[in-house]
Amino acid sequence: MSRLDELERSDMMQSRETQIQLNWENSKMLSKKAASKKVAFKRVGPPKASSSTHYAFLTVKITLDGEPSSDWIECFKNPASFIPDEAHPAKASIIGNCITFTSFRGNVRTNILWMDKYVQQANECYKTMDTMYVAEEKSQRKRKKAEQEEINKINESLKDL
């Protein structure tokens, strides 16, 4: 084997080891993410309405039973079905475990019920997303194991060189 072939083989092995390391790091991040999150939220207690800057509107605050992740918030802000009105989730703000939105005074009850539906939709969306994360994590672990076995075989074959 020429020196050039040896160098190319060495570069390939180092590249492969780097890829395994990156996959392992990604797997650790997904694992931490999966371990530290709540998948479904629900409203806790009655919503609270307060005055707004305009007489016709009220500011409504809904408290959830936990603090949603940015992925859950993305699901909430982009519901699968909605009614086009002032209480669309994209217009709501989420800080901590509170959802705050503006509603016409006459539509408060209806808009709260819609927000409950949007929370439910976000839970379903996020659960699907979570399932995909878990499947990806499992796939990465399987790839890492196969890659490590391949490297072990290569290293075993290089012992007598």
Nearest to 75 by CA among 105, 13, 117: 117
H or E element at residue 90: none
Residue 24: the pLDDT is: 47
Domains of the chain with CATH codes: 48-135 (3.30.310)
Cα–Cα distance measured from residue 67 to residue 115, given in angstroms and rounded to the nearest whole number: 16
Grouped pLDDT means (10 residues each) for the chain, 161 residues: 56 50 49 59 94 86 95 93 83 96 93 95 91 80 88 86 78
Residue 142: the pLDDT is: 87
pTM of the model: 0.63
Residue 33 C-alpha from the chain's centroid: 8
Residue 4: the pLDDT is: 53
Residue 136: the pLDDT is: 81
Q: Supply the DSSP string of 94-123, one letter for each residue.
A: EETTEEEEEEEGGGHHHHHHHHHHHHHHHH
At 35, the amino acid letter reads A
Cα–Cα distance measured from residue 112 to residue 58, given in angstroms and rounded to the nearest whole number: 12
Question: For residues 133 and 123, is the Cβ–Cβ distance under 8 A?
Answer: no
Residue 152: the pLDDT is: 87
Residue with tokens 């007489």: 55
